[in-house]
Chains A and B, each alone.
Chain A
Amino acid sequence: MATKIYMDHAATTPVRKEVLEAMLPYFTEYYGNASGIYGIAKESKKAMEKAREQVAAAINAQPSEIYFTAGGSESDNMALRGVAEALKDKGNHIITTKIEHHAILHTCEYLEKHGFRVTYLDVDADGKVRLEDLEAAICPETILISVMFANNEIGTIEPIAEIGKLAHEKGIYLHTDAVQAMGHVPIDVEEMHIDLLSISGHKLGAPKGIGAIYIRKGVRITPLIFGGAQEKKMRAGTENIPGIVGLGKAVELAAAELPETRATLEKMRDRLIHGILEAIPYSKLNGHPTDRLPGNCNISFEFIEGESMLLLLDALGVAASSGSACTSGSLDPSHVLLAIGLPHEKAHGSLRLTLDTDNTEEEIDFILEKLPQIVARLREMSPLYEEVSKQAK
């Protein structure tokens, strides 16, 4: 079914028209390699430095602290492996959480195979890290704390400023995966004591394949990719100038529009969440009720399975996602939903709808009309619901 209603913005976003327009000249007109000394190369270099300023300004960093990468996963890998390598003589302990993106978790698993010790912090039922747990996990060997700014599945925003304060008191670097948060909630690396921060372009209206990492001046880190002298030898490879221009533009737009966008999305999100919870029995919101990403709605429906919901929504032209095993390609449901204490069967029945400003109130109405029918139809077919409805009689 052709998608008419797109509610999977946490997976990826369409490239914004202003962003595409800003990028286009750098494909065919200003195609120069930024390392050159001739006119056309200078255009590339100039555009790149402008983008660096745009990204830096959005998070209160210096342009010299921004390095462009191929995306969020690369930035996450670079932060963890780069700091671990650079500080291995200082210590071998890293602290992260159980709800991180796999770009963090799988990198940590790799580091564990190479002499590092990793503590994976539990989170509370809303998905928040407890500061006392973090404090208790810190030991003299701790070299890095990596806690995501906001969770991609359940939308919970972590107390990064408090975590950063604690990390800096203890002299430990703080990395945050801000792939979902960037452009959606305010970020200030100074105020929040952030040392490293991962950014992805395609989550905020820039194209796929471009990202950035903020590295505070003075932070010790080794590069992931060796080669040319690009990005002050921190990230080799001819720069993706159109992508970089797009990222800069998208970040600039998002930062300028943030207060308004946030208010609009939160209103729409809360109408969607409350509408669903009121209309459908045996449903539960996943993630923090208020400290959550403006566009994130994640709800579990008992007795049914997520992929079935997605297929029926797709048949109506609605694009959404789920934390069920069947959508993860494994037999286990989402590690995030399990970490907030959902039993497997409820984790299988989760639905994530992520909104952005291209969604409309009419689309929310459509979901609120159709979703109860979809859930009822699947429950009618479910042997688990049969037991419950018999007990109720």
Chain B
Amino acid sequence: MEYSAKVMDHFMNPRNVGEIEDASGVGTVGNAKCGDIMKVYLQIEDGIIQDAKFKTFGCGAAVATSSMATELVKGKTIQQALEVTNKAVMEALDGLPPVKVHCSCLAEEALHAALWDYAEKNHIVIEGLKKPVNDIDELHHHTEE
């Protein structure tokens, strides 16, 4: 298994690491049991994603996809952000090893979870956005097993 140069660049020099205070939307997905947790913060003004930050517990691919996903949504409209799929993140990173594809799914889910949080806080409906399922609550669920 080997990572592309782009994955390594985004792992070694991750963009947008951090938190946004009073963010418009925050989404956390994954669980510590399977070894990946992504938390994405979005600052949304006038329907445009002004800023995006993340914190990630996970492998090289998890960090790189978080970094790339936040890069890809910055400056985008909400509808454009929905087009930042796991496939788009993966392509932007010049691919991922097959066993790491699930990391790119987490990045998409984390973005969606943050947008869902934004929609709920503002009592709006974002067309095409489904309620996130892979939520942090699974962590508590799993550890209670």
Contacts and interface: CB of A to CB of B under 8 A. Distances in A.
Q: Is the interface of B mostly helix, strand, loop or mixed?
A: mixed
Nearest to B40: A383
Nearest to A327: B59
Contacts of B37: 382-384
A304 interface: yes
Contacts of A312: 12
Contacts of B65: none
A380 to B, nearest CB: 7
B84 interface: no
Instruction: Specify which of A303, A381, A383 lies most central, judged by the most chain B CB atoms within 10 Å of its CB.
Output: A383
Interface size class of A (residues with CB under 8 A): 20 to 34
Interface in A303-335: 303-308, 311-312, 315, 324-326, 329, 331, 333
A96 B60 CA distance: 35
Interface size class of B (residues with CB under 8 A): 20 to 34
Nearest to B61: A326
Contacts of B33: 344-345
B17 A382 contact: no
Interface stretch (B50-58, B87-95, B123-131): B50-58
B89 to A, nearest CB: 17
Given A308-B63, A383-B28, A333 B57 contact: no
B33 to A, nearest CB: 4
A382 B56 contact: yes
B35 A333 contact: yes
Contacts of A345: 32-33, 35, 57
A303 B57 contact: yes
Nearest to A329: B99
A148 B58 CA distance: 31
B12 A381 contact: no
B55 A307 contact: no
Instruction: Specify which of B17, B38, B60 lies most central, judged by the most chain A CB atoms within 10 Å of its CB.
Output: B60
A300 to B, nearest CB: 13
A326 B101 CA distance: 12
A65 to B, nearest CB: 41
A188 interface: no
B34 A384 contact: no
B125 to A, nearest CB: 27
Interface string B21-47: 000000010001111111100000000
Interface of B: 1, 8, 11-12, 14, 17, 19, 28, 32-39, 55-63, 99-100, 102, 142-143
15 contacts: A305-B62, A307-B59, A311-B11, A326-B35, A326-B99, A329-B1, A329-B99, A331-B102, A344-B32, A344-B34, A381-B55, A384-B32, A385-B57, A386-B19, A386-B39
Given A381-B63, A383-B28, 14 more contacts: A305-B59, A307-B59, A324-B59, A326-B59, A326-B60, A326-B100, A329-B1, A333-B35, A344-B32, A344-B142, A382-B55, A382-B56, A383-B56, A386-B19
Cβ-closest 10 pairs across A and B: A345-B32, A326-B59, A307-B59, A383-B39, A383-B55, A344-B33, A348-B35, A382-B57, A325-B35, A311-B60
